[in-house]
Chains A and B, each alone.
Chain A
Amino acid sequence: MLSNNFEIKEFFKISNQLDVLTQENGQALTIHDILDGETLLSLFAEFLESLPGGNHKIVLDFWIRAINYKKTTQDFLLAFKSSDLSRENSGLFQTQAEAREIFHLFIADDASLPLGFDSEMRLIYTFLVICFK
């Protein structure tokens, strides 16, 4: 028996979450539903780690770093514009250093975690690049 508001809210939150996740047998879910939820994101990361043959989690790791960079930089830019802070004190140099780190980790020619693609992913990527043109 649910006895207080917190428990009732929790119950309906879980119930609603379950409805969304099982809608059309899960086929209605998009990648954003997974990436935007803290629990689902960690489960997705666990799933990618469990896959055999190569580092499948690297694409997710890159996405997380890139999104965090974007959010942090936007926050710093806002803080920088609305204050008298110097560029050094606003943290903007840190975000720039983070950008370089992401670049060297995932994108540069000598990247230590290159976003390598197998043949299946290469096909997908070729398709996507064509769409972006």
Chain B
Amino acid sequence: MFQITNFKFRQRIDDLVYANTSKVDASIFNEPANLAEQILELKYLQKFLSSNIFRDYISQLKSDVEYPDVRISKSESFLSINTLDSADTEKSSKKLSGRKSTDTSYVNSFDLDSQCIWKRRHTSLTNVGFVDSMGR
């Protein structure tokens, strides 16, 4: 196997690392680091750009731009999980999956609209913090 040790800069780095122990040079690996960059570019960049890993990342970004509320809902779900507003997360999830969730049958159209909190019907699952007209 051909090794980087065969090249001219190995001796130079060797000298810089060991020749003068009182000297510290920030640039001693510049040359091999530049070579490493070029090798990464020439050998791997195009393969990476056409890889599934990169495509998945682009798809995720596209999805984030297309459905920004989904992304925000995901990141803030820990805040809204115990509130009536968590229905927004359900709304976003449904938009993506296109199917009705079976375990959220208590969610009605008012639950999906955060502007209609006051219209939501209350069930044992959604009455956290509910105050009735008598203030109870």
A29 within 8 A of B: yes
Query: For chain A residues 11-41, which have a beta carbon within 8 Å of chain B?
Result: 11, 14-15, 17-18, 21-22, 26-27, 29-32, 34-35, 39-40
Q: Interface 1/0s, chain B 110-126, versus A by CB < 8 A?
A: 00000000000000000
Contact B3 A117 (CB under 8 A): yes
* B40 and A60 contact, CB distance less than 8 A: yes
Interface residues on B, range: 35 or more
| Contacts known (A122-B2, A124-B39); A103 close to B48, Cβ less than 8 A | no
Query: Which residue on chain A has the smallest CB distance to residue B45?
Result: A31
- For chain B residues 35-93, which have a beta carbon within 8 Å of chain A? 35-45, 47-51, 53-54, 57-58, 61-62, 64-65, 68-69, 71-72
- Chain A: minimal CB distance from B65 (Å): 5
Q: Which residues of B contact A67 (CB under 8 A)?
A: 33
| Residues of chain A contacted by B21 (CB below 8 angstroms) | 96
What residue of chain B has the Cβ atom nearest to residue A6's Cβ? B72
| Interface contact A63-B33, CB-CB below 8 Å | yes
Among B26, B44, B53, point to the contact of A46 (Cβ < 8 A). B53
Contact A128 B69 (CB under 8 A): no
Tell me whether B134 is interfacial, beta carbon within 8 Å.
no
B27 in contact with A70 (CB, 8 Å):
yes
Task: Assess the B33–A128 pair: CB atoms within 8 A.
Answer: no
**How far is B64's CA from A111's CA once the two chains are assembled, in angstroms?**
44
Tell me if B131 is interfacial: C-beta within 8 Å of chain A.
Answer: no
Q: How far is the CA of A106 from the CA of B58 in the complex (A)?
A: 33
Using a CB–CB cutoff of 8 Å, the interface residues on chain B facing chain A are 1-5, 7-8, 10, 13-14, 16-18, 21-22, 24-33, 35-45, 47-51, 53-54, 57-58, 61-62, 64-65, 68-69, 71-72
Q: Which residues of A contact B (CB under 8 A)?
A: 1-2, 7, 10-11, 14-15, 17-18, 21-22, 26-27, 29-32, 34-35, 39-40, 43-44, 46-48, 50-51, 56, 59-60, 62-63, 66-67, 69-70, 73-74, 76-77, 87, 92, 95-96, 99-100, 102-103, 106-109, 111, 114-118, 120-122, 124-125, 128-129, 132
